[in-house]
């Protein structure tokens, strides 16, 4: 036993002697590294690299395969779609804004692409994020026999909630009831306004005044001036209206 301990200590000492003085590849801080190491990183930069890797893994877990390529870098701004410039601006500032976003319109306007791009920014900045794909998640929740209360809680704890394709479920009453439960619990848990919703129905077409009120409230913000007074109100409820990108040029 004593010999084994001495051998371990000796190996550690020999390993330490093999360390080479160098500089971090990223920040230039002084570090010791082993001969042949591919990346020379200080502890801080190594932690950041690991955090970046974990966030990329979470994106792969969170996003369906068909969504993973979407980002602001490859979003196509089409002149044929009304309000697309405003929607892009609002989506880009979502990561640093406390105000929610509601994008609505027919299929093929780029709503989901903007949602995924904003979601990607939030994840890569370390924010807690959940994605609710409304039609499929609602169907799965029913199939699995999960109680509504548990479903509500699951999507009310995150910092940023993204809801895609609201209004696509056949039973509008049930869909609206689900959305109300989620929004209400986010308010109760003081999670703020950080919701990003895409929908195929307008606010006026939601036949529940409680849901209308909460969405409008969450998507309303105020510009803060130098004197600290919030005066200029803005509402991030935007309709995208144009040709379906999936059909454009094919008809």
Length of the chain: 251
Buried-state track 157-172, b at ≥16 Cβ within 10 A, e below 16: ebebbbbbbbbbbeee
Helices 172-188 and 134-143: crossing angle, nearest 10°? 90
Report pTM.
0.81
| SS3 of residue 102 by DSSP | strand
- 3-class DSSP state of 247: coil
The pLDDT tens digits for 199-250 are: 988 998 888 889 899 999 999 887 665 555 455 788 899 999 988 877 765 4
Query: 92 vs 45, 55, 57, CA distance in Å?
Result: 27, 19, 22
| pLDDT tens per residue across span 13-49 | 555 556 777 888 788 778 777 766 777 778 888 888 8
């Amino acid at each position: 036993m004593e010999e084994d301990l001495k051998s371990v200590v000796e190996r550690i000492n020999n390993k330490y002697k093999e360390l080479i003085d160098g500089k971090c590849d990223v920040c230039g801080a002084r570090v010791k590294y082993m001969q042949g190491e591919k990346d020379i990183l200080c502890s801080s930069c190594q932690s950041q690299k690991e955090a970046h890797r974990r966030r990329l893994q979470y994106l792969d877990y969170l996003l369906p395969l068909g969504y993973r390529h979407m980002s602001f870098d490859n979003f196509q701004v089409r002149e044929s779609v009304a309000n697309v410039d405003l929607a892009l601006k609002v989506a880009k500032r979502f990561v640093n804004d406390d105000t929610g976003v509601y994008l609505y319109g027919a299929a093929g306007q780029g709503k989901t692409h903007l949602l995924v791009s904003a979601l990607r920014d939030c994840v890569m900045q370390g924010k807690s994020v959940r994605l609710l794909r409304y039609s499929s998640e609602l169907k799965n929740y029913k199939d699995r026999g999960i109680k509504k209360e548990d479903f509500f809680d699951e999507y009310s704890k995150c910092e940023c909630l993204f809801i895609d394709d609201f209004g696509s479920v056949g039973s509008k009453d049930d869909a609206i009831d689900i959305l109300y439960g989620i929004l209400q619990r986010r308010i109760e848990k003081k999670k703020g306004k950080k919701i990003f919703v895409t929908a195929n129905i307008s606010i006026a077409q939601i036949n529940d005044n409680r849901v209308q009120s909460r969405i409008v409230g969450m998507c309303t913000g105020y510009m803060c001036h130098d004197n600290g007074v919030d005066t200029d109100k803005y509402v991030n409820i935007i309709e995208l209206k144009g040709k379906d990108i999936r059909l454009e040029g094919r008809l």
